């Protein structure tokens, strides 16, 4: 491990060019100004927990009524998937195709079989709010009243708290599942932690920030999180959906349809995961983006490495060409 880390350090330093290569990620790389929001579902009380399955179809929950709905992306048909979900908040489809759900009223994490809405209990006995399921099946979930983050191992034998003294709500993995990012109700920043192999969280700093405030408010009310395939981090706040780049820097705010009303949670969906679905109070909207948000289990990291190397090669080639041209002038 020590060697691995040293090598990574070395690579990180040598890789300054790589680091700066994808540095500035303006919002127009996400929305180019031609797209518009599309209403997908309405008449709910407080929507939450959107997540996409292997077809890019989306599940969301109406928190107060505990109803979980399924959205067929192609037809936009919304159907009831499960009732009595015990005030489910955060949800995420895992690599096993199960729908993991944080049931606040029952104080447990469960996994739904999407074919018949039967479920098994994964962890119980603690307050739960939101969760993230890694590509290897590891789960981290938030317990806001206790100020804790919990971890569940892929084989489900280890269930343990891994961070305390926080005010966490939303939770996600960035940096190719190497970093746990979580909101903090008391801060204008998001926390970043290194996710260790045993699930524990180290190297915690509030590095994603500042999260912007809506005028006249003291805190951003950061809630649900998602990431795109480039590992930009998106967070639902009172001011809109705020986007952070891979250097944990604020890229900008995506304004939501019903201004001033917070989109509590969000996910990418659609067959190529290029549609951003948001749960905004009584409604669910979606918008086509210029990026994709592949679920962790759908990512081919080796292919991504090859593509990245190719992009850097092309960039350096173009740069060398410019230098040759400049030298010739």
Partner 1 sequence: MHIPRPRRFAALLLAGALATAGWSQETPYELGPDSFPQDGVPTGRLIEATYVCPESSPFYPGTERTYWVYIPAQYDGSAPAALMVFNDGGGYARLDGHTRVPTVFDNLIHRGEMPVTIGVFLNPGIVPPARPNAVARRNRSYEYDTMSDTYARFLIEEFLPMVAAEYDVRITENPDLRGTGGLSTGGIAAFTVAWERPDSFRKVISYIGTFVDIRHGDTYPGLVRKTNLNAHPNLRVYLQDGTNDLDNNHGNWPLANRAMAAAFAYVGIDHHLEIGDGSHNANHGSSIFPDAMRWLWRDWQEASP
What minimum distance in Å lies between the beta carbon of 87 and partner 1? 31
Give the burial class of 184: count Cβ atoms within 10 A of its Cβ; 0-12 exposed, 13-18 middle, 19 or more buried.
Answer: buried
* Strand bridging mode 225-227 / 99-103: unpaired
Closer CB to partner 1, residue 167 or residue 175? 175
Closer CB to partner 1, residue 86 or residue 230? 230
Closer CB to partner 1, residue 38 or residue 196? 196
Closer CB to partner 1, residue 253 or residue 281? 253
What minimum distance in Å lies between the beta carbon of 319 and partner 1? 6
Closer CB to partner 1, residue 29 or residue 86? 29
φ/ψ (deg, to 5) at 311: -60, -45
Closer CB to partner 1, residue 207 or residue 281? 207
CA distance 111 to 99: 5
What minimum distance in Å lies between the beta carbon of 208 and partner 1? 8
Nearest one of 119, 226, 100 to 172, comparing CA atoms: 226
CA distance 261 to 109: 28
Count CA within 13 A, CB hemisphere, residue 277: 29
What minimum distance in Å lies between the beta carbon of 95 and partner 1? 13
Please provide the size of the chain in residues: 329
Q: Which are the contacts of 283, defined by CB distance < 8 A and separation ≥ 6?
A: 39, 40, 41, 42, 44, 47, 257, 258
What minimum distance in Å lies between the beta carbon of 271 and partner 1? 24
Which spans of this chain sit near partner 1 (rule: CB under 8 A)? Answer: 1, 4-5, 8-9, 11-13, 16-17, 19-21, 23-27, 134, 174-179, 192, 194-197, 202-205, 207, 209-210, 246-252, 301, 315, 318-319, 322-323, 325-326, 329
């Amino acid at each position: 491990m020590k060697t691995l880390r040293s090598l990574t350090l070395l690579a990180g330093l040598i890789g300054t060019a790589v680091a700066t290569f994808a540095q500035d990620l303006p919002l127009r790389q996400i929305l180019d100004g031609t797209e518009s929001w599309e209403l997908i579902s309405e008449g709910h009380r407080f929507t939450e927990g959107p997540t996409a399955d292997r077809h890019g179809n989306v599940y969301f929950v109406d928190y107060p009524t505990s109803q979980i709905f399924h959205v067929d992306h192609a037809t936009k048909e919304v159907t009831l998937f499960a009732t009595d979900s015990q005030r489910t908040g955060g949800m995420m489809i895992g690599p096993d195709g199960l729908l993991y759900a944080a049931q606040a009223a029952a104080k447990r994490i469960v996994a739904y079989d999407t074919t018949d809405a039967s479920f098994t209990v994964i962890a119980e006995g603690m307050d739960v709010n939101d969760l993230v399921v890694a590509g290897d099946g590891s789960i981290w979930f938030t317990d806001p009243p206790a100020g804790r983050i919990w971890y569940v191992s892929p084989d489900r034998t280890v269930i343990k708290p891994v961070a305390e003294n926080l005010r966490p709500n939303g939770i996600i993995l960035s940096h190719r599942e190497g970093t746990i990012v979580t909101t903090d109700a008391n801060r204008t920043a998001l926390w970043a932690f290194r996710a260790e192999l045993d699930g524990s969280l180290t190297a915690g700093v509030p590095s994603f920030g500042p999260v912007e405030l809506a005028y006249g408010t003291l805190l951003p009310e950061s809630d649900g999180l998602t990431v795109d395939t480039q590992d930009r981090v998106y967070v639902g706040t009172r001011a809109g959906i705020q986007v952070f780049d891979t250097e944990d820097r604020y890229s900008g705010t995506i304004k939501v349809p019903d201004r001033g009303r917070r989109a509590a949670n969000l996910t990418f969906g659609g067959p190529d995961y290029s549609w951003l679905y948001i749960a905004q109070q009584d409604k669910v909207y979606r918008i086509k983006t210029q990026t994709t948000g592949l679920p962790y289990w759908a990512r081919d990291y080796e292919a991504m490495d090859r593509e990245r190397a190719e992009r850097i090669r092309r960039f350096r080639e173009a740069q060398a060409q410019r230098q040759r041209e400049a030298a010739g002038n």
